[in-house]
Amino acid sequence: MRQLHVRVPASERSSVEAVLEDPDLDLEYVTSTGGSDDDGDDGDVHFFFPLPTAAVSDVLDGLDDADIDSDTYTVVTKGEFAHTGEFSELQREYSDETPTLSRAELGAGVQELRWPRLMYYGGSVLSVLAATCGLLLDQPALVIGAMVIAPQVSAALAAPAAAIDGKWDVFTGSVKEQVLGLVLAILVATPFALALRRTGFVPPAVEVTSIELVGVRLAPSLLSTIGATVAGIVGAYGYSTEQSVSLIGVMIAAAIVPAAGGVGLGLAWGEQAYAVGSLLLLAVNVLAINIGAFVAFLLLGYEPPWLFGEQSLGDSVPDADVRRVYVTILLVAVAIIVTGALTASQVGFGHQTKGAVQGTMSSPAYADLDMTGVTTEYGGLGAPSGPTSVTVTVSGPSGTPPDDLASDLESEIERRTDRDVAVAVDYRSSSTTNASSG
């Protein structure tokens, strides 16, 4: 529930009372009156009243429709309990509505959610360092810890919320924060990982792509893109309904921070294909989170005035910010198109690869083997030169995989994808958990 405090000139008292006493609301309120001012006016009238969270937007919209400037002095606070004659009935009327924040509360809350600039960039650095260590150690707990301290949720929700509300200075600032924060994270993760490798804390011969937590982030996939989009949707829904911001932040950071650390690892180990794949994964996840949050805000009823005909986009942008806003929107649009095309090509490559593996494994010669997984490096448009690594996980009887399996898989994948690939078979005995490569 909420408690509203509205102060208006005495001349507008009847207009406010008409809004609050509307049959659709019928709010119970109390008033207090200030003394006359120096100009001899009658002073101000203060209105206090409790109401359900879902009703705040209706009240504020009613005040605006009555030409009462609710921005002059309006305070919305959380309430714990209200005992009045009609409040319980009002709660029942709004019980079936999603208790979302009003547009004014959402805008104020997003501003409060944003980290101070120094803390934002500092948090980005600390989180990516922790994530890089967690990836190298193959320790999920450390990676999760990195997500907890990551500040990305603030900018990831602020940008779509600001676009919804037409606060373009916040929108451009949040987009800038996301880009610079992730660039800084990569620039820190790369020399950090390289130092770990060169000083012997991590053996130089270690193949980072063979580490499980690293291997699952080789490149974007359809499932990873869906997951990031859902993270944005859940983030917007959770924040607009006042769910746990900490848990929302972890979910959003899970799609961002490890991928940024992965880019640094790929560059430090000279794994060009992995670095490109992780960078694309990072870009796709960031865009998917922002788009998912924007769509969620729309579905929750937050309508941008520039999108639904109340005013054009140009009219909603202050003259001083026109160039900056349009350039930011253009860059975001280009990023969406480019990453979408690259991701589609990678998803297509992965689909063809899995089809080739399934076709090969269906041969009578491999009837006693089961394919349990296929992982691929980035092999889409603009993939680095050289063979694309493909790892096929196979289970079967005790022993070693057939000698021709890797070559047969490689030939079939190359035929279907028209790409040069290098296939590694991860063979797992059906009777044990040990794995061997072939």
Domain spans of the chain?
Answer: 2-99, 106-317, 346-437
- In angstroms, how far is CA 3 from the centroid of its own chain? 31
pLDDT computed for residue 35 by the predictor: 58
CATH architecture of 346-437: 2-Layer Sandwich (3.30)
Mean of pLDDT values over 376-396: 89
Burial 333-369 (b: 16+ CB within 10 A, else e): eebbeebeebbebbbebbebbbebbeebbeeeebeeb
Tell me the range of 210-224, 287-301, 422-436 where mean pLDDT is highest: 287-301
Per mean pLDDT, which of 42-56, 226-240, 295-309 is the most reliable? Answer: 226-240
- The C-alpha angle with vertex 379 and arms to 356 and 418, in degrees rounded to 5, equals 50
- DSSP-assigned states of every residue in 190-207: HHHHHHHHHTTSS-TT--
Q: What is the pLDDT of residue 367?
A: 86
Task: Report the share of the chain in percent with pLDDT over 90.
Answer: 36
Instruction: Using pLDDT thresholds of 50, 70 and 90, give the confidence band for residue 438.
Output: very low
Structure confidence at residue 329 as a pLDDT band (50, 70, 90): very high
User: 71 falls in which pLDDT band (50, 70, 90)?
Assistant: low
Query: What pLDDT is stored for residue 352 in this prediction?
Result: 94
What pLDDT shows up at residue 437? 43
| Higher per-residue pLDDT: 56 or 353 | 353
Q: Can you give the pLDDT at residue 436? A: 42
Three-point CA angle 294, 298, 299, nearest 5°: 115
Q: How confident is the model at residue 41 (pLDDT cuts 50, 70, 90)?
A: low
Grade residue 279 by pLDDT with cuts at 50, 70 and 90.
Answer: very high
Q: What is the mean pLDDT of the chain?
A: 85
Q: pLDDT grade, residue 230 (50/70/90)? A: very high
Averaged pLDDT for residues 427-431:
77
What are the structure tokens assigned to 81, written together? 């309990």
User: pLDDT category, 42, cuts 50, 70, 90?
Assistant: low
Q: 2-99 — its CATH code?
A: 3.30.70.240
Q: Give the chain's length.
A: 438
- pLDDT category of residue 40 using cuts at 50, 70 and 90: very low
Q: Which residue has the higher pLDDT, 397 or 129?
A: 129
pLDDT band (50, 70, 90) for residue 435: very low
- Is residue 126 predicted with pLDDT exceeding 80? yes
Which residues are 213's β-sheet partners?
Answer: none
pLDDT computed for residue 309 by the predictor: 67
* pLDDT over threshold 80, residue 83: no
**Mean pLDDT computed over 117-134:** 91
- What stretch of H or E contains 20? helix 13-20
